[in-house]
Amino acid sequence: MKKPNLLFFGIDSLRSDHMSLHGYSRLTTPYIDKYLQDGGIVFEHCFSPSVPTTPGYSSMLTGMDCFSTDVVALRHKGDLAPDRKTLAELLRENGYNTTCVGFTGNIASRGFDRYLNFEGWLSTNGDGRAHKAENLNVVAIPELERLAGEDQPFFLFLRHMDPHSPYLPPEPFHKIFYQKDEFDPGNHTLDPVYEFKPFCDYFASWFPAGCTDKDYIIAQYDAGVAYMDTCIQSILEKLAELGREEDTIVVFTSDHGETLYDHDCYFDHHGLYECTLTVPFAIRYSGKTKSARIADYCQLKDLMPTILDLMGIESDITFDGRNLMTRVRGGEIVQEEEMYLTECTWMRKNGWRTPQWKLIVAKEPDFHFKPEIELYNLIKDPQELQNVAAENPETVAYLLDRMNRHIARRTAATGRANPIDTNLDWHGMGCGPFKTSEQAYNTMHIGDANAAKRLQADLAAKEARKDGQ
């Protein structure tokens, strides 16, 4: 019997609380919502505990945590930890024809037969808007047609970039959630954004000149998600037209969320706050899965073992993640309501999250001049607006102990030091850990959208892989 195909939407920077699928007030994902109503399994509380892109995708595509992948930094040096096998490598061993669209050159994308690229960053139509998802479709739909015509089952991985800055959705989407005056001289909500030296030049490269309203920028993010949703409809309609819907598993997820105007981490994905950690995870296998919403906590490391179970593929890998299909079928699984958190994007931090508490510990001074220890009561303060570390020293000590015990267990199990302690050039500046927040503030800088693009993947590796096809 032929194994099922896998169509995997690995969307970059999509925070679940800005999806109508997860109750957001704006209708940002109407097609995905409708598609999942018929047999879709929606995991309501999925977390990406190690942000940003490189560790997020590494966990997603290996079924491992950051200790096992040895990856915590965006600018990771070297490969995955030894003996780690990616989903693409495993499926290729099982006779799959594998293609990756839009993720060439990153270690997490290792193992595909074919790599295709598209312009997922800048304006391409001369209108000043970024037609990211349309550009992806130009590449992905013909590839889907090719794969569907082969005798082998296929794995098609699509890395949509629409929720990732720059937020420049094309007309008519860019105004669907905003009808005010984005140039109102009486609005000063973007003043602190323009004054933030590390990012201000980057924002100037894509914010409308003279824009004053933060809500306009947030509406652009939401409009980009809605635009992407429409373009995803084209891909899924093509899948049905090709007669492959019934034998294809479709997955939606993201590597991390996004900070918009949250916690002074403007329009990016750094900071170990809920907006950056919470991501979507949903599966539909037409005719095989029943509609369900699962409220258990899960993490990106759970995706690979869960997907393999649904595909009927066995492996000898001992995953860090859990097979969530056991839970979907009504069985019991080990609950993981506490989790270890890491970030090496623009700051180097780790932390510990429970259903009630969030502890964040800086490994070195950060460029936002935040305190070394942050503690938030997620029940009383779900927006994480009030740092209560000073008022709760016993809670801080308890959570630190829980975190350190977890680190000790995982470093003993992997035989390696905690990667958050070994990635000391995580920023790529060659100066080692920052000694002061002033040093970090004056050192870390992103100039424009092209510079942001370069941060996402090593261009030399990208070209080498492209030339090697």
pLDDT per residue over 413-442, tens digit each?
999 999 999 999 999 999 999 999 999 999
b vs e for 183-214, b when ≥16 Cβ sit within 10 Å of the residue's Cβ?
Answer: eeeebeebeebbebebbbebbebbbeeebbbb
Q: In what order do the strands lie in the sheet with 339-344?
A: 50-51, 339-344, 348-353, 357-362, 373-377
pLDDT (mean) for 16-45: 98
pLDDT one-digit tens code per residue, 247-266? 999 999 999 999 999 999 99
Mean pLDDT of 287-301: 96
Match 């002033």 to its residue by tokens.
438
- pLDDT of 465 strictly over 60: no
Residues 452, 342: Cα–Cα separation, whole Å: 21
In this predicted structure, what is the pLDDT of residue 462? 44
Give percent above pLDDT 90 in the chain.
Answer: 92
What pLDDT sits at residue 272? 98
Residue 458 structure tokens: 């090593």
Q: Is the confidence at residue 17, as pLDDT, over 80?
A: yes
461 vs 94, more confident: 94
> Helix (H) and strand (E) counts for the chain?
16, 14
User: At residue 443, what is the residue type?
Assistant: T
pLDDT at residue 295 tops 60: yes
Q: What are phi and psi of 304, to 5 degrees?
A: -60, -50
H or E stretch at 249: strand 248-254
Query: Mean pLDDT over residues 281-296, rounded?
Result: 96
Over residues 390-405, the mean pLDDT reads 98
pLDDT for the residue 454: 76
Percent residues over pLDDT 70 in the chain: 97
CA–CA dist 283, 91 (Å, integer): 18
Residue 23 pLDDT > 70:
yes
272 residue type, one letter: L
Q: What are the CA-CA distances from residue 341 to residues 80, 349, 406, 407 (Å)?
A: 19, 8, 11, 11
Cβ contact 146:154 at 8 Å: no
10 Å CB burial of residue 1 (0-12, 13-18, 19+) is: exposed
Q: SS in 3 state form for 192-232?
A: HHHCCHHHHHHHHCCCCCCCCCHHHHHHHHHHHHHHHHHHH
Mean of all residue pLDDT scores within the chain: 95
Which pLDDT band holds residue 451 (cuts at 50, 70, 90)? confident
Reading phi first (left if > 0) and then psi (alpha if -120 to 50, else beta), residue 111 is in: left
Using pLDDT thresholds of 50, 70 and 90, give the confidence band for residue 233: very high
Q: What is the C-alpha to C-alpha distance for residues 271 and 347, in angstroms, rounded to an integer?
A: 7
3-state secondary structure of 180: coil
pTM of the predicted model, to two decimals?
0.95
Q: Which two tokens stand for residue 368?
A: 């936002």
